[in-house]
């Protein structure tokens, strides 16, 4: 029986691409925990603050540089209020690090939900 070279190459390419994804810096990073605190207007300040704090961990076997934690903030209708980031310079294998992302301004008190993600640049 004759086998086409395409039949052999395609499965090998699929296997190789899945290995690349498994070893990519983004797949190594995991947000372990996060929570939000919202401080509303006070008499002496004209702004509110929504603060997301949490922990990111490098679950991989390689160091990861320039980890960017992003928090997208939404109001109760699901409209995006803003996107803000915190940058962690380096995470060694197994290392966990605290992050803090803040939305400051007149609309921060409107935050109803948020989404946290982390990537490496």
From first to last of the 121 residues of the chain, give the pLDDT tens digit. Answer: 444 433 433 343 333 333 333 345 557 899 999 999 998 876 666 789 999 999 999 999 999 999 999 999 999 999 999 999 999 999 999 999 999 999 998 889 999 999 999 998 8
Nearest to 121 by CA among 99, 90, 77: 90
Q: How far is Cα 107 from Cα 121, in angstroms, rounded to an integer? A: 29
The total number of structural domains in the chain stands at 1
pTM: 0.73
Angle at 84 between CA 83 and CA 87, to 5 degrees: 140
In the sheet that holds 48-58, the strands lie side by side as 29-39, 48-58, 96-105
Contact 101, 69 (CB under 8 A): yes
Question: What CATH code is carried by the domain that includes residue 57?
Answer: 2.60.40.10
> Could you tell me the residue range of the domain that residue 104 belongs to?
5-120
């Amino acid at each position: 029986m004759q086998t086409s070279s395409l039949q052999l190459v395609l499965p090998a390419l699929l296997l190789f691409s899945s290995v690349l994804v498994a070893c990519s810096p983004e797949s190594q990073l995991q947000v372990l925990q996060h929570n939000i605190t919202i401080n509303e207007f006070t008499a002496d300040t004209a702004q509110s603050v929504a603060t997301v704090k949490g922990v990111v961990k490098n679950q991989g076997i390689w160091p990861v540089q320039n980890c960017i934690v992003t928090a997208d903030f939404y109001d109760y209708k699901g409209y995006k209020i803003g996107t803000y980031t915190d940058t962690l310079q380096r995470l060694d294998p197994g290392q966990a690090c605290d992050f803090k992302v803040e939305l400051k301004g007149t609309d921060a008190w409107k935050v109803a939900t948020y989404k946290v993600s982390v990537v490496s640049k």
